[in-house]
Amino acid sequence: MSSIIADQKIKKILPLILATAIFMMMLDSMILNTSLPAIAADLNESPLNMQNAIISYVLTVALLMPISGFMADRFGTKKVFIAALILFAIGSLFCSISQSLTQLVISRVVQGVGGSMMTPVGRLTLIKTFPRNEVVNAMNYAIVPALIGPILGPLVGGYLVDYLSWHWIFLINLPIAFIGVILSLIYMPDYHSESSGFDIKGFLIFAAGTFILSISLELLGNSVQTTPLLFGLFLGFLLLYFYYRHAKKREEPIFPLNLFQVRTFRIGILGNLATRLGISAIPLLLPLMIQIGYGRSAVTSGWIVAPMAITAMLGKSVVMKILNQIGYRKTLITNTLIIGLLICSLAIPSIESSIYWHIPIIGVLGFFNSIQFTSMNSIAIADLRPYHTSSGNSLLSVNQQMAVGFGVAFGLVVLKIFEGDVSLIQNEIHNAFRYTFLVIGGLTMLSAMVFRRLHIRDGNNLKSQKT
């Protein structure tokens, strides 16, 4: 009886532990998005050239996430998760004392090492603890408290930047990490799995391909020369092809190719990449537009962006009811089109319009974003076999991080292109932001085509959740 009570208590606390990690990461990212103009001014950099502070983090996370499943299987989910929390906190401390962009980028890399383990290992622990028909609700419960991070992030970041110093925005992570470590020591299960060894060759090939593709996007944003860009893209995709050849021969690669024989996983991965490519730039572009285009303070941009997270919590509360009623296919197709239209509508208010016209748009966008992310993530894992859980979970997390990095880079590249066309934007940078929203909104609507490949019954094995 006591073991049953203990198991029930772990099931109640475990989503909270995962929420602590997600909360910290989301708070950190949203604070940074709001604070970039102030950081750029202090470091004598252009706000549009500060993407390295974001991309260095997401690239580190994407590169190291492939080993998160192996690390958890080999050393135990509890030890790896706690170590990740501590590393993220150390990186945050280094960020707070950075005196140059180079130091900030290095500190963000340290953060990324911890971040690469936190979410995937926490999610893996949750998947192994809960029965399959309870996983989505458990993840939902974990994400709802974590959504407070995006609410507080823009507001706290704005006030700290305007009234104190941007250096303080990273110190908030330290007490949160401390709470996460204490809860993990007491309540987190320590799962191990048998493994024949880590595929170091496959990891190096995959990591090199991922790294070169990311650097190529960086070249696209900072260089007018197309030769290095095309060479980088060619080399990156060539390395991923080599990984494909390698994985076909190896008995236990880091990402088994038969993962992609699971149709729902394949569509979930592709849909995540295509849809997030457009969505991921918005949390960065909107605060930049408010502060650069409209000349408003960081606090004002924080108050305008915060409703996105509030309505996202409402979306989490109804997503399973929607999925149970109309299914994953109709939900994802319709929802993706709506998100694309909402992003395009951010281009409607002119420089003469009230800045607060963006609030209802961003609020509705947060609601549908929440439905989108929960639906995409849950359909991707719907049909995975237990022995594919670790590798499939890691690849899904890598894919999400790469999509965020690509989305940020793509959004800033489009913005810089329009910024350079003075005649088109009539020498008004606000118009460059408006055209950028139209481009990435249209791209998001096109990504709805990916979900047409879902069957009407896909996800039925997840519909037994209590809502």
Q: Phi and psi of 5, rounded to 5°? A: -60, -40
For the chain, the C-alpha Rg in angstroms (whole number) is: 21
What pLDDT shows up at residue 330?
A: 87
What is the three-class DSSP state of 463? coil
What pLDDT shows up at residue 467?
A: 36
Residue with tokens 């690239």: 59
What is the three-class DSSP state of 255? coil
Number of other residues whose CB lies within 10 A of the CB of residue 217:
24
Tens digit of pLDDT per residue, the chain (467 long)? Answer: 434 444 667 777 777 788 788 777 777 777 777 777 788 888 877 776 677 787 788 788 878 877 877 788 778 888 899 999 999 999 999 988 888 888 888 899 999 899 888 887 887 787 777 766 666 666 666 666 556 666 666 777 777 777 777 777 888 888 888 988 988 888 888 877 766 567 788 888 888 887 887 777 666 655 555 677 778 778 888 988 888 888 888 877 777 777 777 788 888 888 888 888 888 888 888 888 888 878 887 778 778 877 887 788 788 778 888 888 888 888 889 999 999 999 999 888 887 777 888 888 888 998 898 888 888 888 887 777 766 666 777 778 778 777 877 788 788 888 888 877 767 777 778 788 888 999 999 999 998 898 888 888 776 666 544 43
CA distances from 363 to 118, 122, 158, 360, 435 (A): 28, 29, 19, 5, 21
CATH class of the domain at 2-198+254-462: mainly alpha
Query: Residue 434 in contact with residue 105, Cβ under 8 Å?
Result: no
User: What distance lies between CA 408 and its chain's CA centroid?
Assistant: 11
What pLDDT shows up at residue 24?
A: 79
What pLDDT shows up at residue 220?
A: 64
What pLDDT shows up at residue 4?
A: 46
What pLDDT shows up at residue 203?
A: 84
Which residues have a Cβ under 8 Å from the Cβ of 339 and sit 6 or more positions away? 275, 278, 279, 365, 368, 369, 372, 444
3-state SS, 30-72, equals: HHHHHHHHHHHHHCCCCHHHCCHHHHHHHHHHHHHHHHHHHHH
For the chain, domain boundaries: 2-198+254-462
